[in-house]
Amino acid sequence: MCKVAIIMGSTSDLPVMEEAMKVLKELGVEYKATVVSAHRTPDRLSEFAKRAVKDGFKVIIAGAGGAAHLPGMTASYTPLPVIGVPIKSSNSIDGWDSVLSILQMPSGVPVATVALDGARNAGILAAQIIATSDSVLLDRIVSFKSALKSKVEDSTSIVENHKTK
């Protein structure tokens, strides 16, 4: 059963949201992805969000651009944690509209908002949430973080030995 649902407002969001899929695959976490538009398919949104627990999901990643109401409205329907990905879309004013729409939720209805186009972090955060009750996945996350650390440590000599022209 897929524990992570990835929803996005439009197929045009896919190039950004694919980064969440890639990292979840890297970490061995199965996901189910689909398009749900808050404004254009509101019934589909409420149906999806209301049955998400029954469908076995543990966390939802929702990405949208412009007047991005998908993550917040999803969070209003479900007790599951929702991670919001603001997207710099074709109808966006530099992405700020999307960032603020997703970030500025009213008290009581949180959406864990990642950076603009930050779908990779959304995938990592979703995996970390699942890993709180999955020790095998937790070990994978520890290795993943350790690889990040090694990459930085291995790169320090580039700066330390750099000679300006």
Alpha helix (H) ranges present in the chain?
14-26, 42-51, 70-77, 96-103, 119-131, 135-160
Binding flag, residue 20, ligand RP5 (CB under 6 A):
no
Structure tokens at 78: 């479900």
If you ran DSSP here, which 8-state letter would residue 84 be given?
Answer: E
Binding residue count for ligand RP5, defined by CB under 6 A = 12
With CB atoms as reference, the residue minimizing the distance to ligand RP5 is 9
Rounded to whole angstroms, the Cα distance separating 116 from 99 reads: 7
* CA pair distance 65, 89, nearest whole angstrom: 5
For ligand RP5, which stretch binds (CB under 6 A), given 19-27, 82-90, 109-117, 141-149?
A: 82-90
Task: Determine the interface stretch with ligand RP5 among 59-67, 108-116, 124-132, 141-149 (rule: CB under 6 A).
Answer: 59-67
Among 4, 87, 112, 127, binds ligand RP5 (CB under 6 A): 87
Element (H, E) at 59: strand 59-65
64 or 112: whose CB is closer to ligand RP5?
Answer: 64
* Distance of closest approach, residue 84 Cβ to ligand RP5, in angstroms: 11
Question: Which pair of structure tokens corresponds to residue 154?
Answer: 């291995």
- Residues of this chain that interact with ligand RP5 (CB under 6 A) are 9-10, 12-13, 37, 64-66, 87, 89-91
